[in-house]
């Protein structure tokens, strides 16, 4: 996505060959990056929430495995690297998924080939995440377009926590449709829950929306229901930490309250 006219991903390979990521612990006050040169660097970035959001954690872990292979491609070292990374944020489903995928791919090749294979696989994981988020945006754009035609005015959309591009590699999940709607000229305004105690909404969602030029307002976590009662919310879009086969959703604490308020006030509610 864009920041001051420059396109960024949250994690990428720098010209020097090192893994580089946006340091989200310094947002919104400073856009800074960190270089991940070792397994320990990748683990520390996840543990301290310099990188966060399940998709980005998975991508960072994948590169962490590649960095581990660079230092020692043996089976024993890679097994230990996977254990180290898994312990950083064990509740992030993408973390275990990425580690399982990386270990399976690396087990199929000889140690001398593992560094190149690992970096290619990590890059493939990143590219797949970008495409998945883009497709969420394409699908969600049509929902927003339909609502906008019915409303005939600017749409007010409420979101909770951060499920934008900072939580992923690019685009984001819940915010991908918002960015595509904005870019398509559909007038939208976003109510951004501050999302205590880590304030991901106030610190991260507001930052990325502002950088992209999307009108938004940061609100207290408990204001959403009041806004819905007053007819000032047309749509709620949130992320999903886990989604069951039966379409039950687990997400950041506070999401349930928004879902109840949306149902009570007839506001469409989507998880992405």
140, 180 in Cβ contact below 8 A?
yes
> What is the rounded CA–CA span in Å between residue 19 and residue 227?
43
Give the torsion through C-alpha atoms of 165, 170, 174, 180, to 10 deg: 110
Please report where in the chains the tokens 């699908």 appear, as a residue. 139
241 a catalytic residue: yes
Please provide residue 95's backbone torsions phi and psi, each rounded to the nearest 5 degrees: -65, -55
Catalytic residue among 129, 241, 248, 264: 241
Sort residue 4 into left (φ over 0), alpha (ψ -120 to 50) or beta: left
Q: What is the DSSP track for 48-111?
A: TTSS-SHHHHHHHHHHHHHHHHHH--SHHHHHHHHHHHHTT-TT-HHHHHHHHHHHHHHHTS-G
First to last CA, the chain: 18
Task: Give me the active site residues, please.
Answer: 241
């Amino acid at each position: 996505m864009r920041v001051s006219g420059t396109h960024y991903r949250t994690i990428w390979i720098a010209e020097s060959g090192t893994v580089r990521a946006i340091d989200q612990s310094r947002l919104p006050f400073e856009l800074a990056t960190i270089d991940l040169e070792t397994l320990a660097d990748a683990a520390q970035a996840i543990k301290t929430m310099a990188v966060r959001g399940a998709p980005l954690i998975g991508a960072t872990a994948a590169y962490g495995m590649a960095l581990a292979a660079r230092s020692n491609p043996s089976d024993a070292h890679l097994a230990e690297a996977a254990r180290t990374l898994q312990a950083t944020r064990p509740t992030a489903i993408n973390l275990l998924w990425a580690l399982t995928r990386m270990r399976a791919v690396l087990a199929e090749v000889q140690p001398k080939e593992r560094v190149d294979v690992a970096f290619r696989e990590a890059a493939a994981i990143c590219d797949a995440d970008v495409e998945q988020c883009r497709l969420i945006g394409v699908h969600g754009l049509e929902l927003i377009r339909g609502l906008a035609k019915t409303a005939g005015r600017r749409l007010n959309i409420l979101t909770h926590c951060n499920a934008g591009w900072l939580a992923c590699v690019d685009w984001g999940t819940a915010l991908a449709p918002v960015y595509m709607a904005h870019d398509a000229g559909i007038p939208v305004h976003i109510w951004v829950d501050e999302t205590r105690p880590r304030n991901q909404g106030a610190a991260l969602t507001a930052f990325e929306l502002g950088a992209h030029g999307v009108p938004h307002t940061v609100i207290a976590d408990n204001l959403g229901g009041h806004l819905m009662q007053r007819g000032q919310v047309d749509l709620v879009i949130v992320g999903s930490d886990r989604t069951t086969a039966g379409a039950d959703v687990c997400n950041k604490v506070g999401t349930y309250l928004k879902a109840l308020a949306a149902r009570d006030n007839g506001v469409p509610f989507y998880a992405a």
